[in-house]
């Protein structure tokens, strides 16, 4: 170092240090090129970059690290049920389901898979729309007034029956708002079907996410966990079956009362128009 | 494609523009009928200054990328580019001091080392610029 400093300003730096200069230059060039090539190969192996923007900051996720497996457009509920059924049959740890009335649990084979899962000791959490708020989606689903609410009550009876039969860990909560979509999430896969504002839910694409991906974690947290844990917007159905049945009876009477009031109001409006 | 686009932009607006003064110097020499050679244009270490500027800009480009997740890679590339920058700066300081002291310097040696430093700067700087876009 002292030799170097003595040389600076003496015109001898270049001549005395020519070999180290050449070696350092070569090392710098090789090092830079190797670093760049290594990085490019790594990025290429991981696939194309998937750019996502959210309102707080720009996120760039690699297609593989994002964890989106495929997006499927379906026009029938049965395909979603089949996919959900396949997931449930393999699951050993946990199942989370979020949606509107979830009546398709009862009238497809998913009911049996849910029962088997409960018997196997799988933790099951089900979040469905509160019957008093079911009207919010009636127009889009082309349903008669009060029908979604009635379907919710039917599903709740069915789920309580499964819980009584299996003695399994099935937690049920009701969401006092409009669900963002249908979610079926196991420990390693999530199906997500968002609800469009003005068309049937079953016409939206079903997206499949794999755990370990950033999208899975983000959407599972934002779409399911936040709703499940939102104390002001959720009502828990009692884990005791007797109390749960009492809660259901209470809800049924309220829904029936609301239905008759709505029908009376509609008749009055029709009378006024005539 | 994005990387190629960025490199072309860097080549035109950083590298080529930085060489403009030397190009005009060459044109001026030719117009005046003076002996025209590469040694006459860069024999006083001018290319070393250009190298420092290009290296510094490339380092700034890579380090300024806030969204980079390539920590070690960034560090390595910045390090190599910084070594080249340091080398060019030291050489220019040496040459300037000699000129001030009216010492005779080997123009050919200065020319060769300047060209070497410039070439190394282009490679290391180009890698930094490309990595900034990859990150």
Q: What is the 3-class SS of A51-62, one letter each residue? A: EEECCCCEEEEE
B115 touches chain A (CB under 8 A): no
- Residue bearing tokens 């009378």: A271
Query: Is B94 within 8 Å of A8 when comparing Cβ atoms?
Result: yes
Q: Is residue B32 over pLDDT 90?
A: no
A44 touches chain B (CB under 8 A): no
| CB proximity list for A64: less than 8 A, separation 6 or greater | A46, A47, A213
- Residue bearing tokens 């409006």: A269
**Highest mean pLDDT (candidates A105-119, A239-253, A259-273):** A105-119
Query: Is A32 within 8 Å of B77 when comparing Cβ atoms?
Result: yes
> Is B48 within 8 Å of B88 (Cβ atoms)?
yes
Q: What share of chain B has pLDDT > 90, as a percent?
A: 34
Tell me how many degrees the CA angle B8-B12-B15 measures, rounded to the nearest 5: 110
Torsion of CA A70, A223, A88, A147, to 10 degrees: -110
Q: Is residue A50 over pLDDT 60?
A: no
Structure tokens at A207: 């997206």
> Do β-strands A123-129 and A170-175 pair in parallel, antiparallel, or remain unpaired?
parallel
Query: Is A29 within 8 Å of B95 when comparing Cβ atoms?
Result: no
Mean per-residue pLDDT, B5-9: 89
Q: Is residue A49 over pLDDT 80?
A: no
pLDDT band at A95 (very low <50, low <70, confident <90, very high): very high
The answer to whether the complex's ipTM is over 0.85 is no
Cα A198 to chain centroid distance, Å, stands at: 21
B116 touches chain A (CB under 8 A): yes
- The torsion angles phi and psi of A174, rounded to 5 degrees, stand at -115, 135
> Is A60 within 8 Å of B67 (Cβ atoms)?
yes
Mean per-residue pLDDT, B39-60: 89
Mean per-residue pLDDT, A227-237: 85
Listed residue (B24, B80, B19, B16) closest to B48, CA to CA: B19
B86 touches chain A (CB under 8 A): no
Question: A35-49, A197-211, B81-95: which range is least confident on average?
Answer: A35-49
Query: Is A11 within 8 Å of B94 when comparing Cβ atoms?
Result: yes
Tell me how many degrees the CA angle A244-A249-A255 measures, rounded to the nearest 5: 120
Read out DSSP for B58-102? HHHHHHT-TT---HHHHHHHHHHHHHHHHHHHHHHHHHHHHHHTT
To the question of pTM greater than 0.80 for the whole model, the response is no
Q: Is residue B63 over pLDDT 90?
A: no
pLDDT band at A51 (very low <50, low <70, confident <90, very high): very low
Torsion of CA B50, B52, B56, B62, to 10 degrees: 80
Of the two residues A7 and A187, the one the predictor is more confident about is A187
- Residue bearing tokens 């970059």: A49
Q: Which of residues 48-77 of B touch A (CB under 8 A)?
A: 67, 70, 73, 76-77
Q: Which of residues 53-72 of A touch B (CB under 8 A)?
A: 58, 60
- Give the number of other CB atoms < 10 A from CB of residue A135: 18
Read out DSSP for A133-146? GGGGGTTTTT--TT
Q: How far, in Å, CA of A141 to CA of A136, rounded?
A: 10
User: Radius of gyration over alpha carbons of chain A, in Å?
Assistant: 29
Per DSSP, chain B holds a count of helices (H) and strands (E) of: 7, 0
A107 touches chain B (CB under 8 A): no
Question: A3-12, B72-81, B113-122: which range is least confident on average?
Answer: A3-12
Residues of A in contact with B134 (CB under 8 A): 39-40, 43
Q: How far, in Å, CA of B66 to CA of A127, rounded?
A: 40
> Is B121 within 8 Å of B54 (Cβ atoms)?
yes
Q: What is the pLDDT of residue A272?
A: 63
Q: What is the pLDDT of residue B85?
A: 93
**Highest mean pLDDT (candidates A265-274, B42-51, B59-68):** B42-51
> Is A96 within 8 Å of A224 (Cβ atoms)?
yes
> Is A113 within 8 Å of A97 (Cβ atoms)?
no
The DSSP code for B45 is: S
The DSSP code for A223 is: I
Q: What is the pLDDT of residue A83?
A: 86
Question: A22-36, A114-128, B32-46: which range is least confident on average?
Answer: B32-46
Mean per-residue pLDDT, A37-45: 74
A21 touches chain B (CB under 8 A): yes
- Residue bearing tokens 């959210």: A54
Q: Is A265 helix (H, G, I), strand (E, B) or coil?
A: helix
Structure tokens at B8: 């072309």
| CB proximity list for A40: less than 8 A, separation 6 or greater | B3, B130, B134
Closest residue of B to A44, CA-based? Answer: B134
Q: How far, in Å, CA of B134 to CA of B9, rounded?
A: 15
Mean per-residue pLDDT, A47-74: 57
């Amino acid at each position: 170092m002292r030799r170097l400093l003595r040389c600076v300003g003496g015109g001898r730096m270049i001549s005395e240090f020519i070999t180290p200069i050449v070696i350092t230059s070569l090392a710098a060039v090789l090092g830079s090129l190797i670093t760049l090539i290594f990085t490019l190969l790594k990025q290429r192996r991981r696939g194309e970059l998937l750019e996502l923007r959210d309102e707080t900051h720009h996120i760039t996720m690699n297609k593989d690290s994002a964890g989106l497996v495929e997006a499927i457009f379906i026009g029938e509920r049965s395909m979603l049920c089949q996919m959900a059924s396949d997931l449930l049959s393999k699951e050993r740890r946990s199942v989370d389901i979020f949606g509107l009335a979830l009546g398709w649990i009862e009238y497809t084979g998913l009911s049996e898979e849910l029962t088997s899962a409960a018997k196997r000791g799988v933790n099951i959490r089900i979040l469905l729309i509160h019957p008093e708020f079911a009207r919010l989606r009636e127009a889009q689903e082309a349903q008669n007034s009060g029908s979604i609410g009635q379907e919710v009550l039917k599903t709740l009876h069915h789920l309580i029956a499964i819980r009584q039969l299996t003695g399994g860990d099935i937690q049920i909560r009701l969401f006092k708002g409009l669900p963002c979509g249908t979610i079926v999430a196991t420990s390693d896969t999530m199906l997500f079907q968002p609800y469009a504002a003005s068309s049937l839910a079953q016409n939206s694409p079903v997206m499949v996410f794999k755990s370990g991906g950033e999208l899975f974690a983000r959407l599972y947290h934002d779409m399911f966990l936040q709703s499940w844990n939102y104390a002001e917007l959720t009502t828990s159905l009692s884990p005791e079956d007797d109390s749960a049945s009492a809660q259901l009876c209470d809800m049924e009477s309220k829904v029936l009362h609301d239905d008759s009031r709505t029908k009376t109001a509609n008749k009055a409006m029709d009378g006024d128009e005539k | 494609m994005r990387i190629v686009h960025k490199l072309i932009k860097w080549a035109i607006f950083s590298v080529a523009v930085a060489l403009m003064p030397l190009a005009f110097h060459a044109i001026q020499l030719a117009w005046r009928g003076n002996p025209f050679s590469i040694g006459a244009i860069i024999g006083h270490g001018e290319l070393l200054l250009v190298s420092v500027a290009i290296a510094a800009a490339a380092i700034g480009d890579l380090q300024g990328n806030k969204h980079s997740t390539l920590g070690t890679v960034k560090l390595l590339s910045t390090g190599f580019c910084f070594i080249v920058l340091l080398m060019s700066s030291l050489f220019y300081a040496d040459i300037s001091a000699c000129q001030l002291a009216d010492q005779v310097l080997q123009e050919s040696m200065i020319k060769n080392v300047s060209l070497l430093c410039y070439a190394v700067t282009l490679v290391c700087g180009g890698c930094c610029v490309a990595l900034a876009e990859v990150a």
